[in-house]
Amino acid sequence: MDFTISDEMKMVTETVGQFIRDKVQPLEAETEANAEIPPAKLAEVKAEAQALGLYAMNMSEDVGGAGLGVLDMCLVEEQLGQTSDALIRRIFGQCYPMMEQLADEALRQKYLYPLVKGDKICAMAITEPGAGSDAAAIRTKAHLDGDEWVLNGTKHFISDGDIADYVIVMAVTDAEKGARGGISLLLVDKGTPGFTVVGKQPMMGHRGYGHAELAFDNCRVPAGNVLGEVGNGFKVMMANVSGIRLGHIGARAVGMASRVLEMMRTHAAERKQFGQPIGEFQMVQQMIADSAIEIFATRMAVMNTAWEVDQGIDARDKVSMVKVMASEMLGRVADRGIQVFGGSGFAKDLPLERIYRDARVTRIYDGTSEIHRMLIARSVIKRGLSL
């Protein structure tokens, strides 16, 4: 297996990394303090990102994206991970490759192309009060009435749901079939009668973007506003989730943990206690060494799994392993970072306490660690360990 990164991708990742450090990280403190990104600064930095070609890199060139595969996108996501998710979402956008399954050109003009250009914001509405990790248990329903879908149900914890121009709603369209052909993805515009943003749900971390509760009460959606095919929604969603988990969680966790490790390294060399740098103390060295080992191992797992996904290999078990490994690694590294910095690590002057809070949710969303462990165990019991 060749682990060489092409010169082109080295240049791309270096460009992204430099942009994050120079333009994005300086916005972190203000965004955290005010729970929003200063609009003028956001517009300026977003325009710079678009001008550099850093927007919609995971979308195909046919629709205006950069056409990066899963592995290359993970290299980019590693750099994006060195800042807060709020800033990443707002500046670099949230583009979903599944949107390219809109075959109707009119729908592409209305929903896909503006998303890729950054002119519109899209939110993904899956999670419900009674359906989190078990996405197939959703109760939001839609039935056809003439040439319209009638949508009823509630979604919550919907990232960007408060500001999205439209949402992709996962709904049951055939209760008897359920996840096996009875769930569809519907595109619902902001302002559609019956579609209400009930409110934003405050969180312990990830400040700077909203997590909304959405309600659909006899909300009427054009019959053609289906992403993929009717009944194929669950399949479409699961087909796209591997890239999301590998990039948004796996690679970003590596990036954020790498930032914490660099802070630990610098502090251990400069901070003196009892007449010597704290990096001379073995217990501090152990925390740094353990962090470096775990980051390296996780990075290799992300890259190997991303490569397999790009090759069309069924890597679902590995994706689950990476999701658990990366999310829990980040939590441990963030905790060690605070310990190495002591009282200053617990203070808000440094980004460590924010990173510590932000890291916690990665063990919950996109399937909890417990759910993924269950899936891994079932697969091993059924087929044995196949790596």
| Same domain as 248, residue 379 | yes
CATH number of the domain residue 28 falls in: 1.10.540.10
Q: Say what the pLDDT of residue 132 is.
A: 65
Structure tokens at 15: 């460009």
| Same domain as 365, residue 280 | yes
**HSE (side-chain half, CA atoms, 13 Å) at 98:** 27
Structure tokens at 141: 């329903």
Domain residues for 167? Answer: 122-227
| Same domain as 359, residue 222 | no
| Same domain as 175, residue 277 | no
Q: How far apart are CA 10 and CA 253, in angstroms?
A: 19
Structural domains of the chain, count: 3
**Residue whose token pair is 């192309």:** 113
| Same domain as 246, residue 222 | no
Give me the average pLDDT of each 10-residue run along the chain (387 residues).
88 96 95 90 92 89 92 96 92 87 92 92 91 79 96 95 95 91 96 96 90 97 95 87 88 98 98 96 98 98 94 93 98 98 95 96 93 95 85
pTM for the structure as a whole = 0.93
| Same domain as 299, residue 243 | yes
Q: Say what the pLDDT of residue 146 is.
A: 95
DSSP string computed for 122-170: EEEE--BTTBSS-GGG---EEEEETTEEEEEEEEEEEETTTT-SEEEEE
CATH number of the domain residue 358 falls in: 1.20.140.10
Q: Say what the pLDDT of residue 226 is.
A: 95
Q: Is 386 helix (H, G, I), strand (E, B) or coil?
A: coil
DSSP string computed for 264-333: HHHHHHH-EETTEEGGGSHHHHHHHHHHHHHHHHHHHHHHHHHHHHHTT---HHHHHHHHHHHHHHHHHH
Instruction: Classify residue 74: in a domain, yes or no.
Output: yes
